[in-house]
Structure 1
Amino acid sequence: MLDARSGPRKEFDRPDTDSPDLVVDGGRAGEAVGAGALSVEVPGDKSVSHRALLAALLPGAPEVLTVRNANLGGAVRALLPAMRALGVAVDADGGTLTVRRGALPVPQQVRPHPGVTGWPEGVPYLETGGSSAAARLLIGVLAGSGTAAVVDGDEVLRHRPMDWLVDPLAELGADIAYLGEDGCLPVWVKGPVFRPGRTVELRVGSAQARSGVLLAVAAAGLPATVRHPVRSRDHTERMLASFGGVLDEGDHELGWGGGAFTVPEVIDVPADPSLAAYPVAAHLLWGDGGTLRVPGVCLNPTRTGFFEVLRRAGADIAYEYGNGGTEGGRPRGGEPVGTVVVRGGLEQAGPVRVDEPWLLHALIDEVPLLAVVAARLPGTSWIGCAQELRFKETDRLTTTARMAGAFGARVEVAADGLTVRGGAPLRAGVVPGFEDHRIAMAAATLAGCLPGRTTVRGGACHRTSFPDFADVQRAVGARIAKDPL
């Protein structure tokens, strides 16, 4: 495996059988075919759920914080052991999380890392599993609050880059040491950011890196300016603004004034647009008429790129604000909400093209899904500006191409994107999921429109972000076998 900071990983050899398989039979269930109108709900947004949980660690947070409609997939649950290790109790009741500060004793222990010496004694060990968002955002909060701790993850996360965040935090004065491979987890957050009025420049457009820096200066009450190369999801900015924080946004620049803010007692999380994309894509791929509605969805323009690209290509996708099943359209967690309305299929659609970095970041999690939809469209599609995908749970450019190729799609990998040549005959069969939830869910969605039976190897890894994936897809007509435990 290559150094995560110097280049993409080579052929991904992680086994794809850790999770049970998903079995999908092609064709839409009879009762859903040509339905006049279907409505389906999807879980809360994963990114907003992470930030809402971490808000409990910020100054001005209440002793008890309630997060409603939280995403309870594996990526969000990965944050819970770390919070407990900081003395924060998190109780789940359905989609509601109750977060209590100081409710648990802080364990004074660390876990040894094979082959590494010099681990600190007497500081909490914070395990974040495979969630890069949990790790990076947590590092930012720790560096801002001056809380010493070791942040670690699983073997895959230990090879994903952390210097995107650690370097700018160091410019602000934070003392952070790598305890394993340089630039990667585990890291020891030793001392806080303290240099006011600094300007830091991020090397990548990662929203996690920008959010980690912003959470650090917010927690420290430290004025700072963050320069970034591309606009990407801005959930942290919106949430802090909803708390009363003052931000000054310019062209590729964000200023934080360092003032006080107040975390409310309740944070409502909107439905996840990245998860809404799967029933939307399934409805379009079947193309058997009718209308699909997905209410309460976060319509933040930094997250709706999948819908926008398909609208440009000719798909009939619209948004309803106001009363469209979204509690009068009031913002949730600082986010605009509405209903995604999809009519018909892809009969009038042509190839898709993603050339702008901001647009890629607005659909970065949906690239595997967009690629398999593009395989069903005429002409040649291009999804570019996507080099960051090489550092996800897998090298998602390579694994997307391999997954789609197993169906017979013609997908070519470039250094920074994918070329998809539509029109190739696609077939059901056994396809790899690579233990990557986005790859597996894209494969299962495409399988629903193909004759015959498809087995997605390790497909139940969808629980990382979308525990109810199979149930939601069945609600719109997919024939997915009962999700194995």
Structure 2
Amino acid sequence: MSDIVFRGGRAEGKVSPPPSKSHTHRAIIMSALSEGRCEVSSPLISFDTRATMDAVRAMGAVVTEREGSVTVECESIHAPDRTIDVMNSGTTMRLMTGISSLFSEKVVLTGDSSIQKRPMGPLLDSLSAAGVECSSNGGKPPVEVRGPITGSELVIDGGVSSQFVSSLIMSSPLTGRPTDVRITGHLVSKPYIDITTSMMGKFGVEVTEEGNVFHAEPQHYMPTDYRVPADFSSSAFPLVAGGIAGRVTARGMDMSDPQGDRKIIDVLKEAGCDVEVSGDEVTCSNTGRLEGAEIDMGDIPDLFPVVAVLLSTAKGRSRLYGAPHLRFKESDRIALTENMLRTLGADIRGTEDGCVIEGVERLHGGRIEHNGDHRMMMAAAVASLVSDGPVSMENDACWNVSYPGFPEQMRSIGMDIEGL
């Protein structure tokens, strides 16, 4: 497979980041659970969200893609009629495991080699304690579940993945009895739980939150037309590009949406970028060499690679902390980010829950390994803007997982790219 090469440039212009992947996954699943006809407008159509579409088709939904929308129709949800192959989508694996536990028939969920390395143990342990028969490959996929859930309380460790918690909360109104989801330990990525409960409300399901317990009475999801907002985690890549090498505007941003990755605006400001918000547009401009910062990544783990790039050439020491769960993402994102930036000339040291960066004036470029991780690939591309030499990597189009058209958009604002 040939390489794609990013030769830096100056980032100037406007882009429209893709719709939110997190919202799209949830909207498709909730539409199928509503057992009616729903139109999801402005969805992200990607490898991952297509995996979720295929999963709900296996449960009886008819999913139709149109330009700018997806229609989901389902008369009666049932246990999947075949093995669910989530491909590389961890979100599909985790959310669909909870939904599959509602059925009395055995459901098998699997995925590619990367998915088969990702932990599922805490979610399966929670379901097992509530009466679900579960088996796995040492706590990793493939997994088998046979429900239904018979307990009235689902207890889950919140320290590994918020998707485990979302999976249980989305399932809880459908157990046929009042159900509590009780979280133990420190809950990571809380804003993603807020997205889940907010969207459930839009589909007619009320969940109450008191302390570390989410409570749902027996309810039904209601057919709803839903519009997916733009994705702040994707917007971080062009905004950081503007912050280190020019001036870039991201359009279509909903500042009232509970996406945790809105925090990218605060991170950019803390590093010394000039950030302007006007309506649904966010503009980030470079103000010279940036300043080091200490950033708690606990609720914004998806921003880790690109924030590390942002701070790699900032003055002084920076520390990213609070996100040990990064080691269980598509890859060990702490190790992979450390290796990527070291290869490009950064002074970075991975820690248990993040990294420490001693800013250098410029990176020198090089060939990096992204291991098929879309966020790593895109972060490395942005790093080329502060590199004296080119940044090259395998051209496997992994950006399509979350940001279809990423290279074309970056080229449109001035990045020099070879190999498209």
Fold-level similarity (TM above 0.5): yes
Corresponding residue of 1:84: 57
Corresponding residue of 2:4: 22
Aligned to 2:252, the other structure's residue is in SS state strand
Aligned: 1:236 with 2:191: no
Aligned: 1:257 with 2:219: no
Corresponding residue of 2:131: 173
Corresponding residue of 2:234: 275
Q: Distance in 2 between matches of 1:46 and 1:101?
A: 22
Corresponding residue of 2:106: 148
Change (3 A) 1:128 1:283: same
Aligned to 2:251, the other structure's residue is in SS state strand
Q: Is the 8 A contact 2:365 2:388 kept in 1?
A: yes
Deviation at 1:402, TM superposition (A): 0.9
Change (3 A) 1:313 1:146: farther
Change (3 A) 1:255 1:104: closer
Change (3 A) 1:105 1:295: closer
Letter in 1 for 2:21: K
Corresponding residue of 1:353: 294
Deviation at 1:297, TM superposition (A): 4.0
Aligned to 1:26, the other structure's residue is in SS state strand
Aligned: 1:439 with 2:376: yes
Corresponding residue of 1:187: 143
Corresponding residue of 1:48: 23
Deviation at 1:375, TM superposition (A): 0.6
Q: Is the 8 A contact 2:17 2:250 kept in 1?
A: no
- Give the alignment's Cα RMSD to 1 decimal: 2.5
Aligned to 1:249, the other structure's residue is in SS state strand
Q: Distance in 1 between matches of 2:80 and 2:174?
A: 23
Corresponding residue of 1:101: 74
Q: Distance in 2 between matches of 1:264 and 1:100?
A: 9
Aligned: 1:341 with 2:298: no
Aligned to 1:245, the other structure's residue is in SS state coil
Q: Distance in 1 between matches of 2:388 and 2:397?
A: 22
Deviations 1:246-297 (A, max 9, x none): 222233x23223142443331110011111001101111113xx56242234
Greater CA deviation, 408-417 or 141-150? 141-150
Deviations 1:323-365 (A, max 9, x none): x2xxxxxxxxxxxxx43232x214374112124xxxx233211
Alignment gaps of 5+ in structure 2 = none
Q: 2:180 aligns with which of 224, 236, 251?
A: 224
Q: Distance in 1 between matches of 2:125 and 2:52?
A: 23
Q: Is the 8 A contact 1:441 1:459 kept in 2?
A: no
Q: Is the 8 A contact 1:310 1:352 kept in 2?
A: no
Within a 5 Å distance, the mapping from 1:335-484 to structure 2 comes to 338-342=280-284, 344-347=285-288, 349-355=290-296, 360-458=297-395, 460-481=397-418, 483=420
Aligned to 1:244, the other structure's residue is in SS state coil
Change (3 A) 1:247 1:318: farther
Deviation at 1:459, TM superposition (A): 5.7
Q: Distance in 1 between matches of 2:111 and 2:52?
A: 10
Change (3 A) 1:413 1:183: same
Q: Distance in 2 between matches of 1:296 and 1:304?
A: 9
Q: Distance in 2 between matches of 1:361 and 1:94?
A: 36
Q: Is the 8 A contact 2:53 2:63 kept in 1?
A: yes
Aligned to 1:382, the other structure's residue is in SS state strand
Q: Is the 8 A contact 1:144 1:218 kept in 2?
A: no
Deviation at 1:195, TM superposition (A): 1.8
Deviation at 1:146, TM superposition (A): 4.5
Percent of residue pairs identical: 28
Q: Distance in 2 between matches of 1:133 and 1:103?
A: 23
Q: Is the 8 A contact 2:191 2:259 kept in 1?
A: no
Aligned: 1:212 with 2:167: yes
Q: Is the 8 A contact 2:3 2:419 kept in 1?
A: no
Letter in 1 for 2:241: A
Corresponding residue of 1:303: 261
Q: Is the 8 A contact 1:408 1:424 kept in 2?
A: no
Q: Distance in 2 between matches of 1:94 and 1:423?
A: 45
Corresponding residue of 1:139: 97
Letter in 2 for 1:373: L
Q: Is the 8 A contact 1:301 1:362 kept in 2?
A: no
Q: 2:206 aligns with which of 241, 246, 250?
A: 246
Corresponding residue of 1:69: 42
Q: 1:164 aligns with which of 122, 140, 163?
A: 122
Letter in 1 for 2:251: V
Deviation at 1:384, TM superposition (A): 1.0
Letter in 1 for 2:29: L
Letter in 1 for 2:5: V
Q: Is the 8 A contact 1:149 1:190 kept in 2?
A: yes
Q: Distance in 2 between matches of 1:87 and 1:431?
A: 43
Deviation at 1:474, TM superposition (A): 2.1
Q: Distance in 2 between matches of 1:221 and 1:362?
A: 32
Change (3 A) 1:64 1:27: same
